[in-house]
Amino acid sequence: MAKIENIKAILEKIKERGLFQDITRFQYLPLHMETALEIVENIGKTRTSKFKIDNENRFAYENIIRWVHCDTQIKCLNPQTKQETTGRLKTGIYIAGNTGSGKSWALEIMSAYAMAYNFQIQIGQTKRCLHWHNTRADAICDEYITTGTLEKYKKMPIIGIQDLGAEPAESLYMGNRMNVLRQILEHRGDHTDKVTLISSNMPINHKTLIDRYGDRVESRLNEMCNYFEIKGKDRRKS
Ligand SMILES: Nc1ncnc2c1ncn2[C@@H]1O[C@H](COP(=O)(O)OP(=O)(O)O)[C@@H](O)[C@H]1O
Ligand SMILES: [Mg+2]
């Protein structure tokens, strides 16, 4: 039988090498929801005076607020049934909805909110601010066709990917055809130390998403993200 000290030493070595890294969240409670919503609404109003949190987006905003505060009361939607269900704090966010319903803004405003409070998250051994950069999926593809690399987006500890599905299905670099987002999402889904936030016109288990990225990605997205939908019409036109 292995000695306890030997087991400890082996586990320590694995940890040192950064294998099986995990995410540690820190709670910022108590959370007073009405105040938090007011602050978020005011952040939105600095961008457009018509910004509001209403019945179309309240569930998403309230629960992303719970997510950044690390409140175990967090809820999300079951992507299959669209019923409310218990959310998870160590996985990311996926917001689906029509064009112009305010998905991208939700990711940007909530990132600003988390940064303003300097909320912390520990990924592996590194403690950092929960703030994330939001990059459009098509901009990631543009970078691939000019540089031939997507390593940066596979490795980033936290990333917001905007408009998943609006990018070209294939990107070409020196004769190499690549479904860039499929590669990135598969990689991130295979690692427990990555947080991925996504906005998309495609519901998570929609046929177009499965056709485009395959069922491996679809199944990983279910694991990687708390699912939300923002309802309503194009706010750009209102
Ligand atoms: N909560 C909101 N209330 C009012 N207007 C909003 C809200 N969120 C976004 N908008 C407006 O709608 C436009 C589209 O939002 P955006 O987040 O880019 O949509 P999409 O869902 O397509 O990502 C923004 O440019 C902004 O003017
Ligand atoms: Mg968008």
**Nearest atom, ligand 1, residue 54 CA:** 1
- Within a domain: residue 8? no
Is residue 189 lining ligand 1, measured as CB closer than 6 Å? no
Is residue 157 lining ligand 1, measured as CB closer than 6 Å? no
**Nearest atom, ligand 1, residue 163 CA:** 23
- Within a domain: residue 5? no
pLDDT for the residue numbered 71? 98
Q: Is 237 helix (H, G, I), strand (E, B) or coil?
A: helix
- Within a domain: residue 13? no
Residues 6+ apart with CB under 8 A from 69: 27, 28, 29, 31, 36, 119
Is residue 3 lining ligand 1, measured as CB closer than 6 Å? no
More confident residue, 13 or 203: 203
Distance CA 148, CA 178 (A): 10
Q: Kindly identify the ligand whose nearest atom is closest to the C-alpha of 162.
A: 2
**What spacing in Å lies between the alpha carbon of 90 and ligand 1's midpoint?**
27
Residues 6+ apart with CB under 8 A from 233: 98, 100, 101
- Within a domain: residue 9? no
- Within a domain: residue 199? yes
Q: Which domain holds residue 116?
A: 21-237
Residue 23 β-bridge partners:
123
pLDDT for the residue numbered 68? 98
Q: How does pLDDT run across 116-167, given as a tens digit for each residue?
A: 999 999 998 899 999 999 999 999 999 999 999 999 999 999 999 999 999 9
pLDDT band at 25 (very low <50, low <70, confident <90, very high): very high
pLDDT band at 3 (very low <50, low <70, confident <90, very high): confident
Q: Kindly identify the ligand whose nearest atom is closest to the C-alpha of 235.
A: 1
pLDDT for the residue numbered 206? 92
Number of domains in the chain: 1
pLDDT for the residue numbered 18? 61
- Within a domain: residue 133? yes
Q: What is the DSSP string of 93-138?
A: EEEEE-TTSSHHHHHHHHHHHHHHHT-EEEETTEEEE----EEEHH
Question: CATH no. for residue 233?
Answer: 3.40.50.300
Neighbour count for residue 62 (Cβ, 10 Å): 20
Distance CA 220, CA 92 (A): 11
Name the amino acid, one letter, at 174. Answer: M
pLDDT band at 21 (very low <50, low <70, confident <90, very high): confident
- Within a domain: residue 14? no
pTM more than 0.85: yes
Residue nearest to atom 24 of ligand 1 (CA): 236
Distance CA 194, CA 222 (A): 14
Closest by Cα among 54, 33, 51 to 42: 51
Residue nearest to atom 8 of ligand 1 (CA): 102
Q: How does pLDDT run across 42-87, given as a tens digit for each residue?
A: 999 999 999 999 999 999 999 999 999 999 999 999 999 999 999 9
| DSSP tag of 15 | H
